Structure 1
Amino acid sequence: MPVAASAIYFLNLRGDVLINRLYRDDVGGNMVDAFRMHILQTKELGTCPVRQIGGCSFFYMRISNVYIVIVVSSNANVACAFKFVVEAVNLFKSYFGGAFDEDAIRNNFVLIYELLDEIMDFGYPQNLSPEILKLYITQEGVRSPFSSKATDKPIPNATLQVTGAVGWRREGLMYKKNEVFLDIVESVNLLMSSKGSVLRCDVTGKVLMKCFLSGMPDLKLGLNDKIGLEKESQLKSRPTKSGKTIELDDVTFHQCVNLTRFNSEKTLSFVPPDGEFELMKYRITEGVNLPFRVLPTIKELGRTRIEVNVKVKSVFGAKMFALGVVVKIPVPKQTAKTSFQVTSGRAKYNASIDCIVWKIRKFPGQTEPTLSAEVELISTMTEKKSWTRPPIQMEFQVPMFTASGLRVRFLKVWEKSGYNTVEWVRYITKGGSYEIRS
């Protein structure tokens, strides 16, 4: 069931109503008083964002110094309600120059009322796309909704844009140079035991695009994911030879992706929005290529001395390199003095985080730099508990490497005018929660 909101309220931190809109007559105008009395004054905001008071449900969210409250008199989809709030705030920010707070609301009462009438009809959410709404809801002092590199042509009929199949892109865009930038950005998460066995490992990734294309182009993107290659093999009646196949989990797409064609062809077909957007997100838990192996050896020599040896091996190709590598090696709080040697980069003791911080600006592939350190501790009679060793942590970026092995097999652009395009594809893997127990 959709939201079917009876009312929406915008309150400041004191509970004063800044602006509100009643969509149905099934709730009284004083419902916000019940919310203020039962929620704000009792300081129970942090317990649950959904509350039942009397015969109504209250869905509330705090954005900056404003509470947004949706009142519903019947059973409703909670996720849809919060999704509506998030999208509405993004819409307001696009009109207010990126700001959304109490001052922005007070300065834009008329505009907010106009937007509230457009984005919700009788309590049901409607189109919340800033690109579409800005075609026919304009306000003096608002920045141009299409301040990109494109050369604008007259804006077409807004009704066609709202009711058409491509609501995220307007017609009439023209570029002197038609370019597509595609980035596959991955974060690899690892928890490894002190014996070298992997306890937890996964990759979260995004496919980011930036399109500067004229007209209404149709793009087709093929990846080396398992489902897509199996479908292609069936269509060609012969095995595919595209190399390693990847099994993607928890995939979500931008609204521009044609899901019908994806289900039949297993390739991504879409008419892209103008400019930068996130095409898809995914997660991978099997067959992860770890960019680094960390081999630590930490020996406690009595109560006042620790010997630390850490070797970091880059597993990726010799022609590749990582940037901004940081290895944080924990030491006890009572550390008095450290001395160390490194075969690459620089290291220093950071007392504020109780770590030896080893930094390597440029880390080539297939190399094994090492760090050797001696740590002297302050001897205390009161300290009886043994040192609980926190895990070693790593930060890094590896250009042109994907921990999942995901690759772009093809990227094709069709447009009725037949212009030529330039496609750029980049890969980068970053360190997420990359931890090794010592």
Structure 2
Amino acid sequence: MRSTASVLHLDLDAFFAAVEQRDKPSLRGKPVIVGGVGGRGVVATASYEARTYGVRSAMSTREARARCPHAAFLTGRFHAYRETSSQVMAVLKAASPLVEPLSLDEAFVDLAQAGLPDLEVATVVEFGEQLRARVAEVTGGLTGTVGIGSSKFIAKVASELDKPDGLTVVPPGTESELLRPMQVTVIPGVGPATAERLRRAGIRTIAELEAVSEDEIVRLLGKAHGHGLFRLARAEDDRPVVADRETKSVSSEGTYDTDLTDRRLMAGLLARQATHVGERLRKHGLSGRTVSIKVRLHDFTTLSRSSTLASPTDSGATIARVARGLLDDLDTSGGVRLLGVGVSGLADWIQEDLFGESEPEEPEIDLPSPEPSQRAYVPGMDVVHDEMGPGWVWGSGKGVVTVRFETADTPPGPVRSYPVDDPALGPAPRPLED
């Protein structure tokens, strides 16, 4: 355990929604909900203005519309989120050589490697404030909440205490005092099922968990999980900040501006991605046993399927065969926005075929372009008009698309409607994601 508050956790506030508000001036200060816009969609992120109406992540879009019907419901723009995340991670890495990204919008930073004159509370508070200011500067005003403590667990808990746009430092020696009144669900790995098992045993708070013997926790939750919770309930966490994680998977994915509905086209795209994955595996001398696919439907719902092989492979043809088989089990009739192939369970060896046979690599696939669909224009999507310039899709339907013409650097702009096949209007150019 560290004797100093030298682990920092940064969590960007309502990240997806905040990026949308930054880039769409007319939405600033208003409820914004990012996720699936269809009836079966799910909320990915809600702005703080929408949260006041009870909207939260993982809620169905149907319920979110009932709670906050006047919100702007937008599909995600992952290229914008990735670009903004890269800017933030660059700031963190300039501050310390030990940065451990957890997702697009959060990371741990090891302050012991940041070159600070000391690690007293006043010093790390000043550092945290400077870091938050720098993040706001490079991202065009996005805010992040910072927690600083003697471990990853404590820093993560601290970053939840003063949201949004806050900073909390837990002085060394006060960790248990902070944790004891909290619900056990603040502990990583305590999801609904584990929380219910603990509740049935009369354990709701960390103080109640701390009072239970290790043997009893292991009996309730199993050896590995029980030992971990026993330690965390006592604020014992010696996990290091790891800058360069060992590669756990190799993947390739692509996002498409028009929904894919042709199964043959989807299978071909997966095969092409599988070929790229195989090439990357061979380049790094790796192979893997588990092949997975990711499919994001038109309503933002993301599906994944995986299959584990008997032995590791680096063959693009083998990966493609398994990926196509996994796709066969999914209903994609509503349209697909993203496809991806990945290989995990990596090893640095390959089981040679005992019979001297292997699947031939598939030739380069000549794929037709996706046919335009009526869902080519989805709410929130970046577009550009020959005369009006850049804007974003306000809404579409019945052959008409409505656009608000504005950017992050302009005042709120005018709204215009066009036929979906208007040649003067089209998707805005953006970096390739595959």
TM-score bracket, normalised by the shorter chain, equals under 0.3
Query: Normalising to structure 1: TM-score of the pair?
Result: 0.27
Q: More helix by proportion, 1 or 2?
A: 2
Output the TM-score relative to the length of structure 2: 0.27
Structure with the higher fraction of residues in strand conformation:
1
